[in-house]
Amino acid sequence: MPLKTHQDDMPAVNLTPMIDIVFQLIIFFMVGARFTELEKKVDLSVPEVGSTAQLPPAPEKRVINVYRDGRLELNKQPVTIEQLTTELADAQQNFAELGVVIRADADGPFQHVAAVLAACRQAGVTDTGISVRPGTKLR
């Protein structure tokens, strides 16, 4: 049985990828520091305000329930189609991105839903949706 008389070389670690990453990080931070330096040199005086009240939060979508017999509810309050139009128009004036979700009875006539959609359009509400539930069968 032959014996080894010399030692094999130790495996070398390739440092090239690590050096590349270090150089890229150095360049990244140098460029980033340059941009913040340019930002500080802008000769601009930002105006001051007296009070710093927060903006009012955006309202949630209004929910309109349409029952089988034609009754309407806006956020759980009974309304007529005329009241619905005026309340939505008033809310639209305060918040231009007003959204409406229409929940209608599945067995009710679609004419009631069409009237609510027309009232929303007349009030200027463009973000309308109809609530449905997923089912496994079609009628």
Q: How far apart are CA 46 and CA 88, in angstroms?
A: 38
- pLDDT of the chain, 139 residues: tens digit per residue: 666 667 777 777 888 999 999 999 999 988 877 776 666 666 666 677 777 667 666 668 889 999 989 899 998 899 999 999 999 998 888 888 889 999 988 888 889 999 999 999 999 998 898 888 776 666 5
Q: Say which CATH topology domain 62-130 has.
A: Nucleotidyltransferase; domain 5 (3.30.420)
* pTM > 0.85: yes or no: no
The domain spans of the chain are: 62-130
Residues 6+ apart with CB under 8 A from 2: none
Distances (CA, A) of 41 to 29, 37, 48: 19, 7, 20
